[in-house]
Amino acid sequence: MTSPSATAPDTRPLGSAAAGTPSGTRRGTEFEGTVTVLARQAVADDVVSLELAASSGEPLPVWQPGAHIDVVLPTGATRQYSLCGPVGDTAHWRVAVLREPDGRGGSQWIHDHVEEGGELRVRGPRNNFPLRPATRYLFVGGGIGITPLLPMIAEADAAMAEWSLLYGGRTGSSMAFLPELEGHGERVTVRPQDKHGLLDLAGFLGDPDPSTLVYCCGPAGLIDAVEAHCADWPTGALNIERFAAAAVRQPADDTAEQPIEVELRASGTTVTVPPGLSVLKAVEQAGVPVLSSCEEGICGSCETSVLEGEVDHRDSLLTEDERAANDTMLICVSRARGGRLVLDL
C-alpha cells in the first residue's frame, strides 16, 4: 500500500488481448538506470513531489498519460509511481509520493532519505492505465490517485475533448496539485471530505453515455463505489487503476500476498506475478497473447490448461468438480497455492 498510483495496476476492461496490450510496455522503450533528484517539494500534507532526470544527462523515454515507473529501493523492493509531469518532457520526470505510515515502508524510506541531488534507481515507464480516445471524459481522483489523472487531463485538454474532474481527499491540505488544477476553472470540482462528506458520484457521473469514458484512480472504497455507479455503463467505459488488489474473492490463505512464479511452457518463458497483478496481465506483459474479456472470472475466455502446480481458484464460472480437477484455471483472477504454476501457454 506504499505507492501512490499502482502497487496493483488493474485496468479493465480492455477487450481482446491485443487491444489490452498497454502502450509503452515494450522492453525496448524502457529505461533502467539511475536518476538524479533535481527537486523535492512538499505539495500537500505528507506528499512530496520529486523531479527526476537521468544521471547520465541523456533524454528519458517518452511516455503516455497513465504510465508509471518503478522505483527500486536499496532494499531491492520496487514501488510504482505514476508519472505526473508534462508528457512531452523527456528531460524530466515528475512523481508524487504519499507517506503511508501503515504501508510496507517504501514511501517512508523515500520521504526520509531522498533529498535534492540524491540518486534513485528507476525502471520504466510502463502503462497499464492508458487513456483511450473519446470526445468526453469524466475523471475521478481520490487522494494521491490524482497523479495519473494530471497528464490525462492535459491530454484531454490538448485534444479539445470535453472533460471534468471530481477530486476528493480527506482534507483540503492533504490534496496535492490544487493550485495547478485551479486554472481549469469549473471543469474541476474539489471536494475534501471534512467539508463535503462523501463524493456525489451519482451527480457527477450521471447516466451512461456512450461517448464518455470514465477514468478513476484512488483508494479501493472509491473505486468500488465508482464501479457500482458505472455497472450499467457500456463495457469498457470505466477505466480504473487501483492502489491495491481488488477484493475479488479472498483466498483461503495468504497466497495473495506472495508473488508467484508462472512458467509458460509452450512459450518457454517464466513470469513472476507480484501480489495484486493478475496472472493474465503478467502473461500479457510478457508478450504472450491470450484471449480475455470480462477479467472478473465470469466469462471463461481466458481459461488456460494447468500442467503443474495447485490452483487457488477465485473465479465464478468453474464448478467444484472442475476446480478439484486442477487442470484448468481462469487466469484473470485465479492464482497459485504453492507459489508456482506451469501453464500451457
Q: Which is nearer to other proteins, 100 or 295 (CB)?
A: 295
How many of the other CB atoms lie within 10 Å of CB of 232?
8
Cα distance between residue 151 and residue 169, in whole Å: 19
Q: For residue 158, give Cα distances in angstroms to 29, 141, 320.
A: 24, 20, 52
φ/ψ region of 227 (left if φ > 0, alpha if ψ in -120 to 50, else beta) reads: alpha
User: Which parts of 216-255 interact with other proteins (CB under 8 A)?
Assistant: 235
Cα distance between residue 47 and residue 96, in whole Å: 7
Q: Does the footprint of other proteins cover residue 289 (CB under 8 A)?
A: no
Member of 291, 337, 339, 340 binding other proteins (CB under 8 A) = 291
Member of 1, 13, 33, 184 binding other proteins (CB under 8 A) = 13
Q: Does residue 238 contact residue 228 with C-beta atoms inside 8 Å?
A: no
240's grid cell: 480504473
Task: Please tell me what DSSP assigns to residue 321.
Answer: H
Member of 178, 244, 245, 298 binding other proteins (CB under 8 A) = 298
Q: Which is nearer to other proteins, 260 or 280 (CB)?
A: 280
3-class DSSP state of 179? helix
Cα distance between residue 265 and residue 20, in whole Å: 22
Using the rule CB under 8 A, give the single segment among 46-54, 77-85, 100-108, 296-304 that binds other proteins.
Answer: 296-304
* Shortest distance in whole angstroms from residue 305 CB to other proteins: 13
Q: Does the footprint of other proteins cover residue 288 (CB under 8 A)?
A: no
Nearest to 124 by CA among 5, 244, 300: 5
Phi, psi of 267 (to 5 degrees): -90, -10
Member of 29, 255, 285, 301 binding other proteins (CB under 8 A) = 301
Using the rule CB under 8 A, give the single segment among 54-62, 87-95, 258-266, 299-307 that binds other proteins.
Answer: 299-307
Member of 90, 255, 285, 316 binding other proteins (CB under 8 A) = 316
Q: Does the footprint of other proteins cover residue 319 (CB under 8 A)?
A: yes
How many of the other CB atoms lie within 10 Å of CB of 85?
19
Q: Which is nearer to other proteins, 102 or 321 (CB)?
A: 321
Q: Does the footprint of other proteins cover residue 294 (CB under 8 A)?
A: yes
Member of 102, 115, 207, 320 binding other proteins (CB under 8 A) = 320
- Identify how many contiguous H helices and E strands the chain contains and give both numbers: 9, 18
Q: Does the footprint of other proteins cover residue 82 (CB under 8 A)?
A: no
Member of 15, 86, 221, 338 binding other proteins (CB under 8 A) = 15
Q: Which is nearer to other proteins, 89 or 209 (CB)?
A: 209
Q: Which is nearer to other proteins, 13 or 172 (CB)?
A: 13
Alpha-helical (H) ranges within the chain are 17-20, 106-113, 146-158, 178-182, 193-196, 201-205, 220-229, 279-285, 320-325
* Shortest distance in whole angstroms from residue 313 CB to other proteins: 14
Note the residues at the interface with other proteins (CB under 8 A): 13, 15-16, 235, 291-294, 296, 298-301, 316-317, 319-321
